[in-house]
């Protein structure tokens, strides 16, 4: 067996959302597997802190995925510095947990702007670079909410399902140029995005008990699935979603969050 299949030696990886949570864990993990990592985040200070932890194999810059020009400039700078861009991982997402009848247009626009438009911007700009260089791997974060929902998850779930369809389309369009595109579907992961849930013991424990493993995931547990898709170990994997959800989508069950 080729023991280098999961390595990223010689590859240049851009991790968006690298300033905290899953993105931070993936950036550190990619560097540990030999990649040169560009830590990108809307919070440039946080990205620089993570890059500092990694060391000489990392750089940092700010990026707002809602702006196509911002994404293009960030990727262009990486390509100019290194001559190529082999891996792009996009983790950012926002959620406004409200019943549909309480949702405002501003709430809708906020969630769609980051989750759906942001993903579109990343896919398009990464695709332009990678199809031109005839190779690369793009990994976008979706969610279990692309398949299953609960009260208060309407727009978030819609964007996460939309991400999967964009990933599939990008895989079909970029594949002839040797570019692979896949999604990760995390279950419940302890990150800043889920801090609200952790503060409510009943809510937190209900989610833990919903999965087959009866616990939450750590951000570090998303590194392996992500880097698998980024690496040559997944050289014939494209257009799919890999659920890293502790068996959440395999088992039936329901919990209504407080206030829903």
Instruction: Please name the helix (run of DSSP H) or strand (run of DSSP E) that holds residue 186, with its range, or none.
Output: strand 179-186
Q: How far apart are CA 147 and CA 101, in angstroms?
A: 22
30 close to 12: Cβ distance less than 8 angstroms: no
Q: Name the catalytic one among 156, 204, 207, 236.
A: 156
160 close to 142: Cβ distance less than 8 angstroms: yes
Q: How far apart are CA 244 and CA 222, in angstroms?
A: 7
- C-alpha closest to that of 71 among 138, 8, 25: 138
Structure tokens at 194: 């889920």
Our answer to whether residue 207 is catalytic in this structure is no
Phi, psi of 155 (to 5 degrees): -75, -40
Positions annotated as catalytic residues are 156
């Amino acid at each position: 067996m080729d023991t280098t299949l999961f390595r990223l030696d010689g590859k240049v990886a851009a991790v968006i959302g690298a300033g905290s949570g899953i993105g931070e864990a993936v950036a550190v993990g990619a560097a540990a597997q030999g990649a040169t990592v560009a830590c990108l985040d809307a919070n440039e200070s946080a990205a620089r802190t993570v890059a500092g932890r990694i060391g000489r194999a990392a750089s940092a810059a700010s990026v707002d995925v809602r702006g196509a020009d911002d994404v293009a400039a960030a990727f262009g700078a990486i390509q100019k510095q290194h001559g190529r861009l082999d891996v792009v991982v996009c983790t950012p997402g926002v959620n406004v947990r409200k019943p549909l009848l309480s949702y405002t247009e501003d709430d809708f626009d906020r969630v769609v702007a980051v989750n759906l438009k942001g993903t579109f911007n990343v896919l398009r700009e990464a695709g332009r670079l990678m199809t031109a260089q005839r190779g690369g791997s793009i990994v976008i974060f979706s969610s279990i909410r692309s398949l299953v929902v609960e009260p208060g998850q309407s727009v978030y779930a819609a964007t996460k399902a939309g991400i999967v369809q964009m990933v599939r389309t990008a895989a079909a369009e970029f594949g002839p140029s040797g570019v692979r595109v896949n999604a990760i579907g995390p279950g419940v992961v302890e990150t800043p995005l889920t801090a609200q849930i952790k503060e409510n013991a009943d809510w937190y424990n209900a989610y833990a008990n919903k999965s087959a493993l009866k616990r939450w995931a750590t951000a570090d547990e998303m590194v392996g699935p992500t880097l698998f898709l980024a690496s040559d170990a997944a050289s014939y994997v494209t257009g799919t979603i890999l659920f890293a959800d502790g068996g959440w989508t395999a088992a039936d069950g329901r919990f209504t969050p407080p206030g829903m």
